[in-house]
C-alpha cells in the first residue's frame, strides 16, 4: 500500500464526555468491532475493580480513574483508527485539552437522561475553538431519557451549533424499540434480551404501509415516529458536510453503548463522514499536508514512568505528514539536534508494541531522553518545519510548596522541573524567596495530589503544601512601579519560569482593585501561545 493510501485510511479522533456518560463503554465496543479485545470488561472492569487501559500509576488505580490520556489503534472496515482517550473525571488537567490538539475529530458522548453536563461544556469549548468536526452519540437510550427534541434543542442553544439526527430513537427506557435510520429509511430494532440489534433491512419506512412496522414497534409508536420524522424532515438542518467538517453542525446518533445497540451503525457512519488526517500550519504560515512526502510531527504529551522498572519517559507525538521510520535519524527543531526516536510504540488495548513505521494521523510514543517539551516539532533535517506551540492554559488553583528536607534540594529541583516539563503543573517563583519555596499552578486540583505522590514515589522528596485561595492569573504588560511595590489586595506577585512578571488574584474584584489603585498598570491574559491549526 502506498504512503498516501495508508494516510487516507487513517481516522484520528478523541472521545469526550462528562464522567459516567459511557465513554469507556463506547470505546470498548469499538475495540470489540476492531477485534482488539475479545470480551467486554477488558478495558474497564466493574465499579469495584475499575481500571482503564492507561492506568500506569497506583494513584490512578486507587482512585479508579484514568488520569492520563491513552491512545489506542485498531483496524475496522478498511480504516486504521486512532482513538485518543481523554480523562473525563471532574478534576481533569491540561492534559485533556492538549490531547484534543492531536485529534482531527471528536465524538461527544451524552447521557440521554442528563443532556449536557459541565465537563461536556468545557471539552466542547476546546473542540469548537479548533473548529474540528464533532459527532454526538446520545447514550443510554435503554433508560428513561429526556425528550430527543429537547436534547437537540439544548445542543443547539447551548453550543450554538446545528444538529442533524442521523437516526431517531423509538421511545426509550423499557419501551425502547430501536432507532430509525433517516438515511436508509429503515428501522434497527432493539432486542434487549439478546443484548444486540435486529435490523429490519429493506422495510422502507413508508409510514402508510404499516403492517411490518406495527408488528415491530406497535401502532402508537409507529404513528409517533412518523410524526417525528415528518417534523425533522421539515424543520431540522440539512446534512451539510461542509458545516460538519468545520464543526458548525453535529451529526447526532442515539443508541446504547452498554447494550451494543446502534454502536456499529454509528461507527460506520462516523467513518464515512469523517475525513482523513487534517493539514497543519507552521509558524511561517505554511500549510503542511498529511500526504507531503516528508515526516513531521509535534509533541503533545509527555508521560513519565509508564514503566516503573525502566523509569522511562515517553513523549507522545502526533504525526502531521509523511511516514515515520524506526531506524531513521530525525531533527528536533527546538534543540537543533538530530535525534533517533527509539522504542517507537503504539498502544493496542493493554499492550504497547514497538513499531517500525507509522503514518500521518498516527500517534506514537517515543522515548524522551529529557529534551522534549510539549509543543516541540520533530521533522526531517532536509525539510525543516516548525509547528505552532500548544496553548498553555491559565492555572485555576495555586499552592505554595516548600521543601522540607534541605539535604534533598537537588532531587526537589529535578523532580519539580521534570514534572513541569511534562506540562502537568506550572511553577512560579516568589521574587526574593529561595528556590525551596515556589508557587505551583494547576488547571485541575487533582494534579496537586499527583505532584505530591510522584515527588515522594519517584524522587523521594516530601514537601509542605499550602493551598492558596487565588484563582486567576494575569501577565503584567506594564507597571507604573516595580511590581513588588504595587498597591494590591488579595493578590500575589510571582514570576513564571521565563522570568516574566505575573499577578495571581483571589477574584475578579482584586483585578479591578489593582487597576484602579495603580494607574498605568496593564495586564494581559495568561494564555499567550497561539493554538495549533
Whether 255 and 266 have beta carbons less than 8 Å apart is answered as: yes
- ∠ CA 518-519-523, rounded to 5°: 75
Exactly one of 46, 174, 382, 498 binds ligand G4P (CB under 6 A); which one?
46
Site for ligand G4P in 370-389 (CB under 6 A): none
Q: Is 25 in the site for ligand G4P (CB under 6 A)?
A: yes
Whether 381 and 106 have beta carbons less than 8 Å apart is answered as: no
Q: Give the three cell numbers for residue 74.
A: 485498531
Q: Which is nearer to ligand G4P, 24 or 377 (CB)?
A: 24
Bridge pairing between strands 323-325 and 357-359: antiparallel
Q: Which is nearer to ligand G4P, 64 or 226 (CB)?
A: 64
Tell me the CA distances in angstroms from 348 to 71, 353, 354, 422, one per residue in order.
8, 7, 11, 23
Site for ligand G4P in 262-291 (CB under 6 A): none
User: What count of Cα atoms within 13 Å lies in the side-chain half-sphere of residue 158?
Assistant: 15
Closest distance to ligand G4P from the beta carbon of 195 (Å): 11
Q: Is 47 in the site for ligand G4P (CB under 6 A)?
A: yes
Q: Is 22 in the site for ligand G4P (CB under 6 A)?
A: yes
Whether 230 and 166 have beta carbons less than 8 Å apart is answered as: no
Q: Which is nearer to ligand G4P, 249 or 257 (CB)?
A: 257
Q: Is 32 in the site for ligand G4P (CB under 6 A)?
A: no
- In the DSSP assignment, the letter for residue 297 is E
Site for ligand G4P in 74-133 (CB under 6 A): 88
Q: Is 19 in the site for ligand G4P (CB under 6 A)?
A: yes
Whether 250 and 136 have beta carbons less than 8 Å apart is answered as: yes
Q: Is 256 in the site for ligand G4P (CB under 6 A)?
A: yes
| Binding letters toward ligand G4P, positions 193-222, x by CB under 6 A | ------------------------------
Burial class of residue 46 (count of CB atoms within 10 Å of its CB; 0-12, 13-18, 19+): exposed
Beta strands, E only, 432-511: 437-442, 463-468, 472-478, 491-495, 501-505
Question: For residues 323 and 295, what is the distance between their CA atoms, to the nearest angstrom?
Answer: 5
Q: Which is nearer to ligand G4P, 349 or 502 (CB)?
A: 349
Q: Is 71 in the site for ligand G4P (CB under 6 A)?
A: no
Q: Which is nearer to ligand G4P, 119 or 426 (CB)?
A: 119
Q: Which is nearer to ligand G4P, 26 or 166 (CB)?
A: 26
Q: Which is nearer to ligand G4P, 145 or 346 (CB)?
A: 145
Whether 402 and 437 have beta carbons less than 8 Å apart is answered as: yes
Q: How many chain residues touch ligand G4P (CB under 6 A)?
A: 19
Question: For residues 346 and 354, what is the distance between their CA atoms, to the nearest angstrom?
Answer: 7
Q: Give the three cell numbers for residue 168.
A: 431517531
Q: Is 21 in the site for ligand G4P (CB under 6 A)?
A: yes
- Helical (H) or strand (E) element with 130: helix 118-130
For ligand G4P, which stretch binds (CB under 6 A), given 23-31, 367-375, 405-413, 431-439?
Answer: 23-31
Site for ligand G4P in 129-168 (CB under 6 A): 139-140, 142-143
Q: Which is nearer to ligand G4P, 49 or 204 (CB)?
A: 49
Exactly one of 8, 12, 17, 321 binds ligand G4P (CB under 6 A); which one?
17
Burial class of residue 183 (count of CB atoms within 10 Å of its CB; 0-12, 13-18, 19+): exposed
Q: Is 258 in the site for ligand G4P (CB under 6 A)?
A: yes
Q: Is 475 in the site for ligand G4P (CB under 6 A)?
A: no
Question: For residues 291 and 75, what is the distance between their CA atoms, to the nearest angstrom?
Answer: 20
Q: What are the residues binding ligand G4P (CB under 6 A)?
A: 17, 19-25, 46-47, 88, 139-140, 142-143, 256-259
Amino acid at each position: 500500500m502506498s504512503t498516501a493510501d495508508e494516510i487516507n485510511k487513517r481516522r484520528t479522533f478523541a472521545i469526550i464526555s462528562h464522567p459516567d456518560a459511557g465513554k469507556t463503554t463506547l470505546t470498548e465496543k469499538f475495540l470489540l468491532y476492531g477485534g482488539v479485545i475479545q470480551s467486554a470488561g477488558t478495558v474497564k472492569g466493574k465499579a469495584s475493580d475499575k481500571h482503564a487501559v492507561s492506568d500506569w500509576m497506583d494513584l490512578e488505580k486507587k482512585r479508579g480513574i484514568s488520569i492520563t490520556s491513552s491512545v489506542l489503534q485498531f483496524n475496522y472496515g478498511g480504516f486504521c483508527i486512532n482513538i485518543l482517550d481523554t480523562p473525563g473525571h471532574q478534576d481533569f488537567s491540561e492534559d485533556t485539552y492538549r490531547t484534543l490538539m492531536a485529534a482531527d475529530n471528536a465524538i461527544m458522548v451524552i447521557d440521554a437522561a442528563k443532556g449536557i453536563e459541565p465537563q461536556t461544556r468545557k471539552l466542547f469549548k476546546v473542540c469548537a475553538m479548533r473548529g474540528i468536526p464533532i459527532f454526538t452519540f446520545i447514550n443510554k437510550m435503554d433508560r428513561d431519557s429526556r425528550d430527543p427534541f429537547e436534547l437537540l434543542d439544548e445542543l443547539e442553544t447551548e453550543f450554538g451549533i446545528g444538529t442533524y439526527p442521523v437516526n431517531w430513537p423509538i421511545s426509550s427506557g423499557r419501551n425502547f424499540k430501536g432507532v430509525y435510520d433517516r438515511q436508509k429509511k429503515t428501522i434497527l430494532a432493539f432486542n434487549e434480551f439478546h443484548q444486540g440489534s435486529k435490523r429490519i433491512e429493506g422495510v422502507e419506512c413508508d409510514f402508510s404501509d404499516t403492517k411490518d412496522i406495527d408488528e415491530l414497534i406497535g401502532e402508537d409508536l409507529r404513528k409517533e415516529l412518523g410524526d417525528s420524522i415528518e417534523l425533522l424532515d421539515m424543520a431540522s438542518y440539512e446534512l451539510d458536510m461542509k458545516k460538519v467538517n468545520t464543526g458548525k453542525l453535529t451529526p447526532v446518533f442515539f443508541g446504547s453503548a452498554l447494550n451494543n445497540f446502534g454502536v456499529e451503525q454509528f461507527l460506520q457512519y462516523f467513518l464515512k463522514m469523517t475525513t482523513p488526517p487534517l493539514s497543519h500550519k507552521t509558524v511561517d504560515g505554511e500549510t503542511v499536508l498529511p500526504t507531503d512526502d516528508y515526516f513531521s510531527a509535534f509533541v503533545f504529551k509527555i508521560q513519565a514512568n509508564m514503566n516503573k522498572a525502566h523509569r522511562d519517559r515517553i513523549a507522545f507525538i502526533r504525526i502531521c505528514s509523511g511516514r515515520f521510520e524506526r531506524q531513521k535519524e530525525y531533527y528536533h527543531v527546538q534543540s537543533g539536534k538530530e535525534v533517533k526516536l527509539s522504542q517507537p510504540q503504539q498502544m493496542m488495548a493493554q499492550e504497547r508494541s514497538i513499531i517500525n513505521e507509522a503514518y500521518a494521523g498516527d500517534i506514537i510514543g517515543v522515548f524522551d531522553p529529557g529534551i522534549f517539551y510539549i509543543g516541540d516539532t520533530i521533522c526531517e533535517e532536509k525539510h525543516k518545519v516548525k509547528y505552532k506551540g500548544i496553548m498553555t492554559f491559565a492555572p485555576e488553583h495555586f499552592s505554595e510548596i516548600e521543601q522540607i528536607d534541605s539535604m534533598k534540594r537537588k532531587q526537589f529541583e529535578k523532580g519539580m522541573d521534570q514534572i513541569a516539563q511534562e506540562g502537568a503543573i506550572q511553577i512560579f517563583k516568589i521574587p526574593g524567596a529561595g528556590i525551596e519555596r515556589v508557587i505551583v499552578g494547576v488547571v485541575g486540583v487533582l494534579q496537586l495530589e499527583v505532584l505530591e505522590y510522584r515527588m515522594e514515589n519517584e524522587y523521594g522528596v516530601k514537601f509542605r503544601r499550602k493551598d492558596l485561595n487565588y484563582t486567576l492569573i494575569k501577565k503584567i504588560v506594564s507597571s507604573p512601579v516595580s511590581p513588588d511595590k504595587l498597591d494590591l489586595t488579595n493578590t500575589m506577585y510571582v514570576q513564571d519560569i521565563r522570568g516574566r512578571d505575573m499577578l495571581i488574584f483571589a477574584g475578579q474584584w482584586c483585578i479591578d482593585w489593582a487597576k484602579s489603585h495603580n494607574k498605568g498598570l496593564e495586564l494581559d491574559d495568561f494564555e499567550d501561545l497561539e493554538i495549533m491549526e
